[in-house]
Structure 1
Amino acid sequence: MASAVPAQVRLANEIAVQFHHRPADEAASAIANHIRMFWAPSMRTDLLTRAETDTAYLDPLVLEALRLLRN
């Protein structure tokens, strides 16, 4: 049985879907901004930690957004 996708990963991917129509750099910036503004620090930390070890389920736009959040 495959493991369930963690909630933060699922939520971040759902946000990314809303921005797929925009250029990738704008979309990543908008996703990073949304996460920065609306997510609890513990949720951000969890997502950033997961992205360091397992990117298989993360949308490429989320990965770019996380790179922006780290800077």
Structure 2
Amino acid sequence: MDTSKHNLATLFAQLGLDNSPDQITQFINKHRIADDMLLAEAPFWNEGQRHFIEESLREDADWCELIDELDAMLR
């Protein structure tokens, strides 16, 4: 069980994305989603990323708060 404190950088690492501050900013600036689209349905995720997001939200995992934060940042 992962008991480390999660932050946006660790979420990006978990998603297999570059998690440097500059790359996180670039990702957020490049990727936008419509207000009526679920985050997991965004076209830029691969299957593994989509599954991680869906499963984390469904299971109310420790990642949920950060996933919600990323969701808000992409709108």
TM-score relative to the length of structure 2: 0.35
For CA contacts below 8 A with separation 6 or more, give which structure has more relative contact order. 1
TM-score relative to the length of structure 1: 0.36
Structure with more helix by fraction = 1
